[in-house]
Amino acid sequence: MPHIQAGDIRLHYRIDGREGAPWLILCNSLGTTLDMWAPQMAQLQERFRVLRYDTRGHGQSDVTSGPYNVAQLGQDVINLMDALQIQRAHFCGLSMGGMTGMWLGIHHPQRLQRLVLCNTAAKIGTPEAWNARIDAVMKDGMAPVVPAVLERWFTKRYLDQGMEQVEPVRQMLLSTNVEGYAANCGAVRDMDQRDAIKTIAVPTLVIAGTHDQATSAAEGRAVADAIPHAQYVKFDAAHLSNWELPQPFTDTLIEFLSK
């Protein structure tokens, strides 16, 4: 899969789907790669020209010095679109990817057709909690934090069905660059878009999970309430709703983007 220079960084990306179809950009969560969207790809590439990329500091994209900030992550998307000569696109981001989507909706609405914000919030956690996580991974690496992350990302019901279902996600977390992860934690720690999202005029769908321990359904509801005319959907899932309930998630995404 190719890399491209996008501003100050080389981003790893992949394009699927037929030429001439509407563009759809998918943005990964903290600690994953573009492969987190694998459950959606078979259906999405039939209808869209899908652009996936590894967020700065993740996967095969460059790891630059941190901490990062949400404006930096959002500008990476604009630079990537410019480098690939994409004028407008749908955008779907989950968790930290949803943070990036909010920033785009606030600052570059003219580049977006529709916006989907999944399992995210306009402010996530406390500085103390993020600083503790940064300290933990910088000291001991990713492995010690992965079990607790998986328990937040998936319901006990889903985990009890067998760890083989979440093994690809576990491997993504384990292989995440520690410096890149910590730098992105800084972006999440410092983000507060609660007031700014009230200005988003792009047609928006907010997806939440009933059992989400990372970004609660109530926080998702607050995002939907703040964005004028936003739609809101809640699934019986935890944080990675696209992975835990792939078919309902994909059906809902396609229905909204196809309007």
Q: Which fold has domain 3-257?
A: Rossmann fold (3.40.50)
- Rounded to a whole number of angstroms, the distance between the first and last alpha carbons of the chain is 31
Query: 1 pLDDT exceeds 80?
Result: no
Name the one residue in this structure whose structure tokens are 């590894």.
54
For residue 239, the number of C-alpha atoms closer than 13 Å in the C-beta half-sphere is: 26
Label residue 37 by pLDDT band (50, 70, 90).
very high
Considering the chain, what percentage of its residues have pLDDT values greater than 90? 98
Mean pLDDT of 199-208: 98
Question: Where exactly are the structural domains of the chain?
Answer: 3-257
Helix%, strand%, coil% for the chain, nearest 5: 50, 20, 35
Which of 150, 139, 237, 220 lies closest to 181 in space, CA to CA? 139
Amino acid 163: pLDDT: 81
Q: What are the start-end ranges of the E strands in 122-173?
A: none
Confirm whether pTM is higher than 0.95: yes
- In whole numbers, what is the pLDDT of the chain averaged over residues? 97
Q: What is the pLDDT of residues 219-242, one digit of tens each?
A: 999 999 999 999 999 999 999 999
